[in-house]
Every structure is written in structure tokens, then in C-alpha cells.
């Protein structure tokens, strides 16, 4: 940059530092050091490379910026405010306060311009890989309008240490995502001290081994920063990794390069000394010099011109490619055929098979009707049955397909799917065994927190997977997933419920859905003739009504245990009980129904029994403190499924005997 421009550059960098220091100090909590250390890199990236529109944060042609180092949130908030986003200075002054748009870590859809929720380290790297992959998929389907879009991600030492970033980076290198540029803030500091106490590997060589183009620079040298970014953008067939050696709290006379600068206010005295060294009035807080305001205002005009040129090209593309444009509209809106449920019911309603097999058949139908459905498995597609037949694989240089091979990388699969969903247009799915949902739980939680329509297709959902034994038999996992707010869970019992499960998942746009599917073949459930197809969409519904009057006992079951409830009903009725069987396809969907429907299905004064091959504690919500919960509150064992059913009491005889014994104890 020309010498005459250098003073304004330094003023802008100092403004970012000052805003970070002041906001953290006023909040009495936060992370000032990293925003200060990254201020030069962030300034160069946001003013010379990043294409975005402060007046339309959702502009489709924008580059994506991910701050995986979410603890450095004040860096992002300062940039958003200076760039002209709808984030007034008062919001920066309310950093980390109730009701503000400047939470402690960036949150998607709360703050204009924030692309993804970050804070759990490493997740943003996975999201960025998902963004970059989404761009490639869109470019392969729709052409030129998406080709120029780039993804930039800033990662910290902590991000690089986390396993999820390594998983995601490995896949990004394998797929040669050359539209992805990661800047590694190598400041050598974590909360406990210098990174040398626990981290000594050569990160640059690791990323070279992943297949990335690697550069190392001084993160405070503006010329080196620009040269590295220029080279990264010019690089083809490889993602780029820029290792930037920085100093945490750079510019602070005593806090620089100290662990204390990572996660605590610098203190008013240190802030005043820092501002004095910058040539600023040490007593002024949240000050933005007029020349800095003018600089960013002029930069905003340049951004507007970039968007104008892009929009002209976009409009020309729509005129010249009307069919593609129409397909794009359907893709973006994730259009679902109105008769999808009917088609699925017709195809699957009378089938008797494992629900993972039935779901596979449903998925083939959905895949043909809903082009937005794209995803894959963590090296288990042959077992989880989630491959879209005839749709092709996504591979390096080939992004027209719809099947993603994530490899044995469950955690990255979750984070990447979140990035795919955030980009828009794509309904991503990721699949593995239910037991391994633990390997991706942070990503699942974030998909719920961000209200993303991700489909988590989990199979082998109980001890009935058999001989693989307790290491692979999920016991606590359904309960664990139920604890995540806004995560919809479906555990279907047969083909009809598979149809309903897919419709519920595709209709739920404000959060993810987890499927729990059985490995073993299951019988078709015989329902009363009064059962309507739409009853299944209410989450809980009456499968079979009591004979001879109002029920005095309600059996509630899910998935592979529903047929046990149906069988137990016959035996209990022979003992004179009036038994209703209820399917609990989706707790979350049932909870959304009005109270009158809930009480009609589960009468408050009627005794209730739950039957599910998993932990029992959460079932108290539905059966009450006096109800009976039949389940499994201990680990399983290695044996054939039928042996496990006998040993652990999951047969019709065992279930009915347990209920009769309990009923005798109630009288």
C-alpha cells in the first residue's frame, strides 16, 4: 500500500483494537487479546478482499467469512459496525449484555453479518468447509454466478488443536476445495499459558500433508498479509492455509504475549497506556476517528459497485438460462411436492422390513422429488442405507453428484452439514450408527441452536443390533438427544411411520431432525381402521383402541418396541384389562399439539406404561411418577438379537408379565 495511505491504515487498525479493549472492559468479561492481535489481518481481509454488502447481509453473491475463533467476537463486531451493517455503536457498548446483538460469542441470525454460530473451537472450520463445498455444488449445478464466491475462515491455536478441525481440513484437502482460505492465528497463547506446554507439532507440515497450499507470514506485516492473500486466491486445486505469527494483545505494553490477555479485560490502566502509545486520548472510550468513518464509508461505495456488477451478471444469467433459474428457485426454497406423503404411504405402507431399509426406499423417492437433499455417511452408507442411487458421488473436481463420502469423520460430518445448511438451498443429511451420535454431538447441538434443517440419520438404534455388543449398542443415546432443545427426533416402527417421519423432517424448517432406525426386520403394525394418515404426523397417536369401553391402561411404545406393545395388549385384554396402544413416533411433535389432543391420547387419570429399549428416566414426562417404564438402564451384551430380547425382557410374554406384576402391585 502506498506510504500516503499508511496512516489511515494504522488508524483503522487502532480503532479495531480500541473498540475491542473498551467493549471487554465495560462488560467486565470477554477476550480482548485476540482481536488486537488479529486487527491487521482482519483489516486487510475486510477492506481489500472480502466481497459483501452491509446493506444486505444475505446477498447471495457474497463471500463467506467465518470467525472460528468465536471468542474473538469483538473483532467481528467492530468490523461489522465500521463496515456499515445494522449494528450501531450502542450495541458494541452493550457487549455481552441482556438483549444486545453482541453476545459473548457470535450467533447466527442474531447479529447482521454473522454467518455461523461459533465458540466451540474447531466447529467454524468445519462450517467453512461446508460453505466451500456448498459453493462448489451450486457452481456445478447452476454455473457461473457461484464460481467467484470464496470462503475465508480465521482459526486460533485452540481451533487447530481440536479434532473436528483436523477431520474437516483433511476432507477439504482431499476434495481440493480451492475456494477455501484459512488464516491460522498462531499467537502461541492459550488460557493455561504458552502453547508449548501442550502443543509442539509442525502445523504447517500437517496442513501440507492434508493437501493444502501453505504459507507462513508475519501477521502484523500488511505487505506480507496482502501478498499471502493474493497468492491464496490465485492458487488452484488446493485450499489455502496461511500461518500468521501474531502477538496476542499486540500494542499493549504489559499484556502483550500473556495468557491473561486471552480471556479477561486488560484493565483501565493498561488500556490507557495502550491508547497513549497509539497517540489517542487515553480517556476517550468507544471513539471512532472521523477519518476512519470516512474510509469505511468510501469502502462501502466500492462494495456497492461490486454488488451492482454481480447483480447485472446474475440478471443476465437468469434471462439466458430460464430453466436453470427456475430450478434454482425451487432449490433455494427447498420445494416439497404437496403429495409427497401420499406417494410415500403408497410405496411403503404395507412393507415389512427393517426401518433402515424402509427409510432407504423412502429416501430414493424423496431424492427424486426434492433435489435439495444432499448428504452422506461416515463410511457406513452400506449399513445405514443412505446412498442416493443413480445420483453420483461428490469428489474432487466432480461436484454435480449428491452423495458425500465423509469418511470416518463423524464430528466433521456434522459441522460440514451445518455449513451446507447455512449456505442455503441444501437439505443436508449425515448418517452413522446411533451409538456414534456421541462423536458428533457438539455439531448436532449447534444445528439445533442455529435452527438448521439438517437430517441426522442414525441406524442400529438399540441393543438389537446384537453381536457387536455393548460398545455399539445405544442405551442412553435417545434420552441424550431428547435433551437437546429444538432437535426433533423420530423413531418409526414400520413403513407408514417411515413415511410420516420423512414428511415431518422435511416440513421442520426451524431445526434438525434425528432419525432412529432399526437394523433388524420389523413386522408391519396393524392399526385400527379409524386411524387416519394425518394422525401419525401429530407425533403420538392411538394405534389400537381399548376394547369394551374407555381404557384403564395405555401402552406407549416407539420404533422396534411398538409391536411388543401390540402383542402385550392381546395378553392383557385376556386378563380383563382395557388396553390402548399409543405410538410415540415423535415426542417433540406431540409436545406441539394442543392440550386437548394430548389428553385425548394420554388421559391424565389413566395408568400408563412406556416400552422402549433404552434409558427410562425421561419417560416420566409421559407416564407420570406412578407409571411403569419398561426399558434398559444398564449396558447390553454381545449375543444374537433374539437372545438379548429373551435375556433383557423384550418379548411379548416378558413385557406383558412385567405389566401384570406391576398392576398387581398397584391394587
Pair type for strands 240-245 and 151-156: unpaired
Residue 410 is a catalytic residue: yes
Cβ contact 471:644 at 8 Å:
no
In DSSP terms, which residues pair with 241 in a beta bridge?
182, 214
**Nearest in space to 62 (alpha carbons), one of 1, 127, 148, 4:** 148
3-state secondary structure 481-522: HHCCCCCEEECCCCHHHHHHHHHHHHHCCCCCEEEECCCCCC
CA 136 to chain centre: 19
The per-residue DSSP string of 301-340 comes to HHHHHHHHHHHHHHHHHHHH-HHHHHHHHHHHHT---TTH
Count of CB atoms within 10 A of residue 340's CB? 19
The per-residue DSSP string of 594-651 comes to -HHHHHHHS-TTSEEEEE-SS--GGGHHHH-TTSEEES--S---SS-HHHHHHHHT-S
Reading the block at residue 657, the C-alpha cell is 408379565
d(CA 70, CA 429) in angstroms, rounded, equals 25
Cβ contact 410:378 at 8 Å:
yes
CA 81 to chain centre: 27
Reading the block at residue 455, the C-alpha cell is 437430517
- Across the beta sheet with 151-156, the strand order is 64-67, 151-156, 180-186, 240-245, 213-218
The per-residue DSSP string of 84-147 comes to T-S--HHHHHTTT-TT-S--SS--TTTSTT--S---STTHHHHHHHHHHHHHHHHHHHH-GGGT
Cβ contact 416:129 at 8 Å:
yes
**Nearest in space to 102 (alpha carbons), one of 93, 32, 42:** 93
Among the listed residues 353, 410, 497, 561, the single catalytic one is 410
Reading the block at residue 38, the C-alpha cell is 488479529
Query: Which residues define the annotated binding site?
Result: 31, 71, 119-121, 157-158, 187, 189, 262, 356, 383, 436, 460, 468, 472, 519
d(CA 381, CA 372) in angstroms, rounded, equals 19
Query: Which residues define the annotated binding site for substrate?
Result: 31, 262, 356, 383, 460, 468, 472, 519
Query: Which residues define the annotated binding site for Mg(2+)?
Result: 157, 187, 189
d(CA 611, CA 263) in angstroms, rounded, equals 48
User: 495-507 vs 355-369: helix axis angle to the nearest 10?
Assistant: 50
d(CA 429, CA 375) in angstroms, rounded, equals 5
Per the listing, cell 427447498 goes with 334
- What does the DSSP 8-state code read for residue 470? T
d(CA 408, CA 167) in angstroms, rounded, equals 9
Cβ contact 21:95 at 8 Å:
no
d(CA 117, CA 447) in angstroms, rounded, equals 9
**Nearest in space to 227 (alpha carbons), one of 208, 240, 210:** 240
Query: Which residues define the annotated binding site for thiamine diphosphate?
Result: 71, 119-121, 158, 187, 262, 436
| Close Cβ partners of 198 (under 8 Å, ≥ 6 residues apart) | 161, 190, 192
User: 410-423 vs 163-175: helix axis angle to the nearest 10?
Assistant: 70
**Nearest in space to 13 (alpha carbons), one of 219, 215, 151, 183:** 219
Catalytic site positions: 410
Amino acid at each position: 500500500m502506498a506510504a500516503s495511505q499508511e496512516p489511515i491504515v494504522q488508524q483503522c487498525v487502532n480503532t479495531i483494537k480500541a473498540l475491542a479493549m473498551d467493549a471487554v472492559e465495560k462488560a467486565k468479561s470477554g477476550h480482548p487479546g485476540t482481536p488486537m492481535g488479529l486487527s491487521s489481518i482482519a483489516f486487510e481481509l475486510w477492506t481489500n478482499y472480502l466481497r459483501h454488502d452491509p446493506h444486505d447481509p444475505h446477498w447471495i453473491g457474497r463471500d463467506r467469512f467465518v470467525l472460528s475463533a468465536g471468542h474473538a467476537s469483538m473483532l467481528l463486531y467492530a468490523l461489522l459496525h465500521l463496515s456499515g451493517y445494522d449494528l450501531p455503536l450502542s450495541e458494541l457498548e452493550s457487549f455481552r449484555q441482556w438483549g444486545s446483538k453482541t453476545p459473548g460469542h457470535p450467533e447466527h441470525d442474531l447479529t447482521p453479518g454473522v454467518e455461523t454460530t461459533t465458540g466451540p473451537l474447531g466447529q467454524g472450520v468445519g462450517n467453512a468447509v461446508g460453505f466451500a463445498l456448498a459453493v462448489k455444488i451450486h457452481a456445478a449445478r447452476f454455473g457461473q454466478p457461484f464460481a467467484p464466491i470464496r470462503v475465508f475462515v480465521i482459526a486460533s491455536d485452540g481451533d487447530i488443536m481440536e479434532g473436528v478441525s483436523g477431520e474437516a481440513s483433511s476432507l477439504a484437502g482431499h476434495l481440493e476445495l480451492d475456494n477455501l482460505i484459512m488464516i491460522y492465528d498462531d499467537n502461541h497463547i492459550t488460557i493455561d499459558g504458552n502453547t508449548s506446554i501442550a502443543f509442539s507439532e509442525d502445523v504447517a507440515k500437517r496442513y501440507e500433508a492434508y493437501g493444502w497450499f501453505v504459507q507462513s507470514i508475519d501477521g502484523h506485516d500488511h505487505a506480507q498479509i496482502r501478498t499471502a492473500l493474493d497468492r491464496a486466491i490465485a492458487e488452484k486445486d488446493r485450499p489455502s492455509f496461511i500461518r500468521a505469527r501474531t502477538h496476542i494483545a499486540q500494542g499493549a505494553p504489559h499484556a502483550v504475549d500473556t495468557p491473561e490477555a486471552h480471556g479477561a479485560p486488560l484493565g483501565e490502566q493498561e488500556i490507557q497506556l495502550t491508547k497513549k502509545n497509539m497517540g489517542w486520548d487515553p480517556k476517550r472510550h468507544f471513539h471512532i476517528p472521523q477519518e476512519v468513518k470516512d474510509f469505511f464509508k468510501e469502502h462501502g461505495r466500492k462494495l456497492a459497485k461490486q454488488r451492482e456488477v454481480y447483480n447485472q451478471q446474475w440478471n443476465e444469467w437468469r434471462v439466458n438460462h430460464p430453466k436453470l433459474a427456475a430450478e434454482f428457485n425451487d432449490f433455494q426454497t427447498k420445494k416439497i411436492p404437496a403429495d409427497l406423503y401420499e406417494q410415500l404411504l403408497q410405496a411403503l405402507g404395507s412393507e415389512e422390513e427393517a426401518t433402515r431399509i424402509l427409510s432407504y426406499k423412502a429416501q430414493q423417492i424423496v431424492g427424486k422429488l426434492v433435489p435439495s437433499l444432499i448428504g452422506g455417511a461416515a463410511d457406513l452408507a452400506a449399513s445405514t442405507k443412505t446412498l442416493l442411487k443413480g445420483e453420483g458421488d461428490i469428489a474432487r473436481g466432480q461436484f454435480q453428484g449428491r452423495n458425500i463420502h465423509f469418511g470416518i469423520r463423524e464430528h466433521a460430518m456434522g459441522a460440514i452439514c451445518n455449513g451446507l445448511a447455512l449456505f442455503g438451498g441444501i437439505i443436508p443429511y449425515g448418517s452413522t450408527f446411533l451409538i456414534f451420535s456421541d462423536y458428533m454431538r457438539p455439531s448436532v447441538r449447534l444445528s439445533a441452536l442455529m435452527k438448521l434443517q439438517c437430517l441426522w440419520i442414525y441406524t442400529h438404534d438399540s441393543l438389537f443390533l446384537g453381536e457387536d455388543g455393548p460398545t455399539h449398542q445405544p442405551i442412553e443415546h435417545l434420552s441424550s438427544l431428547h435433551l437437546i432443545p429444538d432437535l426433533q427426533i423420530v423413531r418409526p416402527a414400520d413403513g407408514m411411520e417411515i413415511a410420516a417421519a420423512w414428511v415431518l423432517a422435511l416440513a421442520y424448517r426451524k431445526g434438525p431432525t434425528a432419525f432412529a432406525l432399526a437394523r433388524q426386520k420389523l413386522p408391519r403394525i396393524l392399526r385400527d381402521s379409524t386411524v387416519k394418515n394425518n394422525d401419525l404426523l401429530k407425533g403420538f397417536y392411538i394405534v389400537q383402541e381399548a376394547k369394551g369401553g374407555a381404557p384403564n391402561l395405555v401402552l406407549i411404545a416407539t420404533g422396534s418396541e411398538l409391536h411388543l406393545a401390540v402383542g402385550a395388549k392381546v395378553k392383557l385384554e385376556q386378563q380383563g384389562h382395557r388396553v390402548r396402544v399409543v405410538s410415540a413416533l415423535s415426542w417433540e411433535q406431540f409436545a406441539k399439539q394442543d392440550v386437548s389432543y394430548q389428553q385425548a391420547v394420554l388421559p391424565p387419570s389413566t395408568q400408563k406404561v412406556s416400552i422402549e429399549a433404552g434409558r427410562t428416566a425421561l419417560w416420566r414426562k409421559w407416564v407420570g411418577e406412578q407409571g411403569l417404564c419398561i426399558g434398559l438402564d444398564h449396558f447390553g451384551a454381545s449375543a444374537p438379537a433374539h437372545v438379548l430380547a429373551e435375556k433383557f425382557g423384550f418379548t411379548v410374554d416378558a413385557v406383558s408379565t412385567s405389566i401384570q406384576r406391576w398392576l398387581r402391585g398397584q391394587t
